[in-house]
A and B are shown apart, each in its own frame.
Chain A
């Protein structure tokens, strides 16, 4: 290894050592001195290059990243919140639709379903418990009143009739209770004058702002009941 090549490799990388360099170092004290000088130069260079780093730089870097990812996190949270809100809204609308929309297409279906649902609560032998006065008190919500009782009234109370407040009256019938519904006129539900299924039959009467539906079993003279209701009821304006 000639001197120039030796100097070139040492100056290019003072730490470099291979067989040729080691051999050259052993045989030549001048080369050893050159390496020492270069190493000392290198340590000066390293010292000079080691400019002071701002003390708080590491903390700044961590802080900035934390803020940046917090910002990102906030963005994500906002998106998630928006998604949760959308889901909640859809669920709310669905629930609203399912609970409060008109499940039955017409009065007849609903009336029959309502009677069937509550059939177990009433028996034809129940004692009459409702006076005319309390019946009329309830009727006032529908702007109507009865002049007289026209049968044995065993139950009278407000009911939800497919989402509408209605008055449900139960009378003693021939063999099974007769149900009378008084409900406000509702545009959403189709009015059906006469209806029946295998057991029950019914009749609806339409007044100014109310419908009155009578439902009873097949043996019951529904038309007669309807007639009695019609006669005894008076509507206030």
Chain B
């Protein structure tokens, strides 16, 4: 019992941040992301004995979280993939230039199609390789690599255009 508790707490401490961020980029809502993470860890606790390889813990948890997220859509059908301005964290009021840039980029990431964003989040936050992302998303590796390329390419183009937008904003 004690060892299971210790394992669980270690798992929570090591991975809750990554999992929360991943959840956030899936649903664009702080509260839903938190709920998803809670639900995920609760299920993880119940099934903790089935986790044999600690190295696989992250992808295991992400799989649980994706399933939880899918369940959310089964429960109530409303389209969340459409980006809503109001749900994006507003940090503009009290932040410096770096924060403003982050905020701007966040909007760009949020506007990206789900199918491009998810592999990118898994790669950047999760640190997963192309193969791992492919197996997590049940896609083949070439598809994943193409999506990653397109995702970054979109952001790159957006960033390259940024100075003009900045200029406009700043008058």
- State which residues 80-121 of B face A: CB under 8 Å: 89, 98, 101-103, 105-106, 109, 120-121
Asked if A57 is at the interface (CB within 8 A of a chain B CB), the reply is yes
Q: Which residues on A are within 8 Å of B, measured CB to CB?
A: 8-9, 11-14, 37-38, 41-42, 44-54, 57-58, 60-62, 64-65, 68-69
B145 touching A12, Cβ below 8 Å: yes
B105 touching A61, Cβ below 8 Å: no
B105 touching A48, Cβ below 8 Å: yes
List, in ascending order, chain A residues with CB within 8 A of B120's CB. 45
Return the contact of A68 from the options B20, B42, B123 (Cβ within 8 A): B42
By secondary structure, the B interface counts as helix
List, in ascending order, chain A residues with CB within 8 A of B67's CB. none
By secondary structure, the A interface counts as helix
B156 touching A41, Cβ below 8 Å: yes
Asked if B125 is at the interface (CB within 8 A of a chain A CB), the reply is yes
| Known contacts A53-B20, A68-B45: A60-B38 contact under CB 8 Å | yes
List, in ascending order, chain A residues with CB within 8 A of B20's CB. 53-54, 57
Q: Which residues on B are within 8 Å of A, measured CB to CB?
A: 8-9, 12-13, 16-17, 20-21, 24-25, 30, 34, 37-38, 41-42, 45, 89, 98, 101-103, 105-106, 109, 120-121, 123-125, 129-130, 145-146, 148-149, 152-153, 155-156, 159
The chain A residue with its CB closest to the CB of B154 is A11
B45 touching A12, Cβ below 8 Å: no
Q: A51-B24, A53-B16, A65-B42 are in contact. List 9 more A-B contacts (CB 8 A).
A: A44-B101, A45-B120, A46-B125, A47-B105, A50-B21, A57-B16, A61-B12, A61-B41, A62-B12
B16 touching A58, Cβ below 8 Å: yes
List, in ascending order, chain A residues with CB within 8 A of B25's CB. 49
6 A-B residue pairs with CB within 8 Å: A13-B123, A45-B120, A49-B106, A52-B89, A58-B16, A62-B9
A48 touching B145, Cβ below 8 Å: no
The smallest beta-carbon distance between A22 and chain B, in angstroms, is: 18
The smallest beta-carbon distance between A64 and chain B, in angstroms, is: 6
Return the contact of B42 from the options A9, A14, A41, A64 (Cβ within 8 A): A64
| Known contacts A12-B145, A60-B38: A65-B125 contact under CB 8 Å | no
CA distance A54 to B38 in the complex (A): 12
A49 touching B109, Cβ below 8 Å: yes
| Known contacts A49-B121, A54-B34: A11-B105 contact under CB 8 Å | no
A13 touching B101, Cβ below 8 Å: no
B17 touching A53, Cβ below 8 Å: yes
B8 touching A42, Cβ below 8 Å: no
CA distance A89 to B149 in the complex (A): 72
Return the contact of B38 from the options A37, A51, A61 (Cβ within 8 A): A61
CA distance A64 to B24 in the complex (A): 20
The smallest beta-carbon distance between A60 and chain B, in angstroms, is: 7
B42 touching A38, Cβ below 8 Å: no
List, in ascending order, chain A residues with CB within 8 A of B145's CB. 8-9, 12-13
Return the contact of B12 from the options A45, A49, A58 (Cβ within 8 A): A58
